[in-house]
Amino acid sequence: MSRFVPMRFVDVHIEGRFWRERLETVLARTIPSQHVQLAEHGILESLTLPKPPPPLRFPRNEHNFTVQVFWDSDVGKWIEAASYALSHRRDPEIEAKIETIIDDLEKAQAPDGYLNCWYLQREPEKRWTNLRDNHELYNLGHLLEGAIAYFLATGRRRLLTMLERYVDHVRETFGPGAGQKRGYCGHQEIELALVRLYRLTGERKHLELASYFIDERGRQPHYFDQEAADRGDDPKKFWAKSYEYNQSHKPVREQDRVVGHAVRAMYMYSAMADLAAELSDDSLKRACELLWQDVMASKIYITSGLGPAAANEGFTEAYDLPNDTAYAETCASVALIFWAQRMLHLDLDGKYADVLEQALFNGALTGLSRDGEHYFYSNPLDSDGRHRRWAWHTCPCCTMNASRLVASVGGYFVSHSDDAIAFHLYGGIATSVTLKSGKVTLRETSDYPWSGDIRIELEPEQAAEFTLKLRIPGWSRAAKASVNGQAIAVEPSTTNGYLSISRKWQAGDVVELDLPMPPERVYAHPSVRMDVGRVALKRGPLVYCVEQVDNAEGPVQRLRLPRRSKVGIKRRSDLFDGIVVLAAEALRLDDREWSDTLYRREPPAEERVTLTALPYYLWSNREKGSMTVWLAEA
Ligand code: FUB
Ligand code: ZN
């Protein structure tokens, strides 16, 4: 059997109501409003290299750093998100805006191909002098991903051609040869973008450059030490203290603990998994597997948030998963989806798809508001009500990560090999897959994630033998399946989380899958000290939370859920176009007789109430109030 590859986002049509609503919101509101924000915040103007340069909007901090050095990346991510959107619906206004950006970049590009607007405008003599901090290759990576998406969506190649020239310049600049720099970027991203460029063009030199950056990372003598010394800085005075911050503390194949900045880590592991697949490199694959085990065993929130600490925007110690101060950057959960998808294609093991789905519906989706114009950067699991969504951020990285994810979500549903089709996600899609035996049109219909009733219609061009693989999610129990109404035994035919059905398929064949979705209680490992004695609620792939707006009269942290309380479901057509909430009898601590007493011998009185929980990704879309995922269990 050949390797599984994902369907391209352009080839998958989203039809189901859950993702259609998110997609329409992103198309109609998020992409246009992000362009307005990019203009209002000076990011688009920066591409025109205005002379004299306007004063910095974000003055350099005590480490001589400003977020403006990576404004090019925000533009690249917006082009990428907008292009995914265009693949669903062409839009002359958006296309004109992208063309204007490309005009500006074309004028800005240096004769040797270099294209970084920060350096070209403000410090032309300093290019490539601070890879550790200044994101030059990271910016190129995001522009490149944007250019590839724009080309795939529209067939227009101008930006891509410009960036290929820039990549050629980078290839001349970096490498082991005389006069070349043996460097790599402080913020990983270029590596996975180069693999994408290789996959698009088939040009091996791009794969080799990606591989060079990954292999060079963490080698001694350390490039960032040398570079700092060359700048006249003391390498020992690195502001982040340790190269664990950017995962260059040791060569990547020796890394087995997930450390440092979470987004950097996830982008790097994604590239490592890509290279492991393209180069059949088992040592890289093994490193990815060890890192995966480390993060899954003790460093991931139930929501798939990653990186508890604001200080390094990243990881700390095992089991350190505070709820109210969780950083859990939206970008990190989005990037976890990238990594999980690549791991899934190394092995087609449902454990990766489970995490992909978990991150998609919880850690990542929560980053984008219902109205499509507000965002979360950090994603705590507990709030007194002060944590609210914002319309823009001094560092807008998460905004376009949310939009590019939603607009490209079709690319995560289905993969295929020569003779098999694998469904990883459900929710209503239509696509056509070309197998060795010919073309197969597929339509998957469901109201997932609200319901686990799934129907797949198959239309092979001619009757053909192949295998249909259906993911049986790790959360599911007692799944049932049938082909043309004939029940099939799920468990014996399921390996690594995928039910395999091999037969000669005919046009009009129908597969039905029933994934029961009872509400579930979930507990954390006792070493997670913040969750001791607490319980969280899940249904299907969704993690639920309790928000004050549904549970009036006091902070939700005062609610306790008795172990014996039955958790039921309620379909609420009045909420957010129709969702499923959870309801249970609970106890609420009463503060009425406490007046100004802070401590006393008697515990607070309790009253019986009905608790309502809603999916975590939806919180903070209504009035202000407290929220918690983990409830005290009585
Ligand atoms: O440094 C670029 C982006 O800004 C990172 O990925 C985010 O964590 C934020 O720091
Ligand atoms: Zn971010």
Q: Which ligand is nearest to the CA of 402?
A: 2
Residue from 58, 66, 67, 142 to probe ligand 1 pocket by mutation (most atoms less than 8 Å from CB): 67
pLDDT band per the 50, 70, 90 thresholds, residue 314: very high
What span, in angstroms and rounded, lies between the C-alpha atoms of 616 and 362?
6
Which atom of ligand 1 is the closest one to the Cα of 187?
1
pLDDT digits (tens, 9 = 90+) for 142-177: 999 999 999 999 999 999 999 999 999 999 999 999
CATH code 1.50.10.20 region(s) in the chain = 254-409
pLDDT band per the 50, 70, 90 thresholds, residue 2: confident
**Region of residue 142 (phi > 0: left; psi between -120 and 50: alpha; otherwise: beta):** alpha
Please name the residue whose Cα sits nearest to atom 6 of ligand 1.
Answer: 263
Pick the more confident residue, 59 or 9: 59
Q: Which ligand is nearest to the CA of 240?
A: 1
- Cα(313) to centroid of ligand 2, in Å? 9
pLDDT of residue 1: 62
Report, at the CATH architecture level, how domain 254-409 is classified. Answer: Alpha/alpha barrel (1.50)
Is the pLDDT at 258 greater than 90, yes or no?
yes
313 is catalytic: yes
- Cα(454) to centroid of ligand 2, in Å? 34
What span, in angstroms and rounded, lies between the C-alpha atoms of 175 and 213?
9
- Yes or no: is domain 414-514 CATH 3.30.70? no
pLDDT digits (tens, 9 = 90+) for 591-632: 999 999 999 999 999 999 999 999 999 999 999 999 999 999
DSSP 29-83: IIHHHHHHHHHHTTTTGGGG--SSPPPPSS---TTS--GGGGHHHHHHHHHHHHH
Pick the more confident residue, 553 or 341: 341
What span, in angstroms and rounded, lies between the C-alpha atoms of 19 and 1?
32
Average pLDDT along the chain: 97
| 126, 575, 576, 613, 614 from 571: Cα distances, Å | 59, 9, 11, 12, 11
Residue from 58, 143, 395 to probe ligand 1 pocket by mutation (most atoms less than 8 Å from CB): 395
pLDDT of residue 135: 98
Strand 453-460 relative to strand 559-561, pairing: unpaired
117 is catalytic: no
Which is catalytic among the residues 117, 185, 331, 397?
397
- DSSP 3-state assignment of 572? strand
- Cα(397) to centroid of ligand 1, in Å? 6
**212-231: average pLDDT:** 98
Residue from 58, 190, 329 to probe ligand 1 pocket by mutation (most atoms less than 8 Å from CB): 329
- Cα(623) to centroid of ligand 2, in Å? 25
pLDDT of residue 9: 85
**287-296: average pLDDT:** 98
Please name the residue whose Cα sits nearest to atom 3 of ligand 1.
Answer: 397
- Cα(267) to centroid of ligand 2, in Å? 12
- Token readout for 391 is 């319309």
Place of tokens 């299907």: 540
- Token readout for 205 is 């030199």
**336-353: average pLDDT:** 98
- Cα(494) to centroid of ligand 2, in Å? 37
Residue from 263, 266, 394 to probe ligand 1 pocket by mutation (most atoms less than 8 Å from CB): 263
Q: Which ligand is nearest to the CA of 69?
A: 1
- Looking at residue 334, the DSSP 8-state letter turns out to be H
Place of tokens 């533009």: 75
- Cα(256) to centroid of ligand 2, in Å? 24
Which is catalytic among the residues 80, 145, 164, 313?
313
CATH code 2.60.40 region(s) in the chain = 414-514
- Cα(332) to centroid of ligand 2, in Å? 7
- Token readout for 233 is 């800085």
- Cα(335) to centroid of ligand 2, in Å? 10
Contact 630, 536 (CB under 8 A): yes
Residue from 397, 399, 400 to probe ligand 1 pocket by mutation (most atoms less than 8 Å from CB): 397
- Residue 200 CA to its chain's centroid (Å): 22
Q: Which ligand is nearest to the CA of 266?
A: 1
- Cα(464) to centroid of ligand 1, in Å? 48
Which atom of ligand 1 is the closest one to the Cα of 313?
8
pLDDT digits (tens, 9 = 90+) for 365-375: 999 999 999 99
Q: Which ligand is nearest to the CA of 66?
A: 1
- Cα(329) to centroid of ligand 2, in Å? 6
Which atom of ligand 1 is the closest one to the Cα of 262?
8
Closest by CA to 145, choosing from 87, 75, 204, is 75
Residue ranges near ligand 2 (ion) with Cβ within 5 Å: 329, 331, 397-398
Give residue ranges with CB within 6 A of ligand 1: 70, 187, 263, 313, 329, 331, 395, 397
pLDDT of residue 553: 84
Q: Which residues contact 632 (CB under 8 A, 6 or more apart)?
A: 533, 534, 559, 560, 561
pLDDT digits (tens, 9 = 90+) for 421-444: 999 999 999 999 999 999 999 999
DSSP 269-300: HHHHHHHHHHHT-HHHHHHHHHHHHHHHHHSB
Q: Which ligand is nearest to the CA of 70?
A: 1
pLDDT digits (tens, 9 = 90+) for 16-58: 999 999 999 999 999 999 999 999 999 999 999 999 999 999 9
What's the residue count for the chain? 634
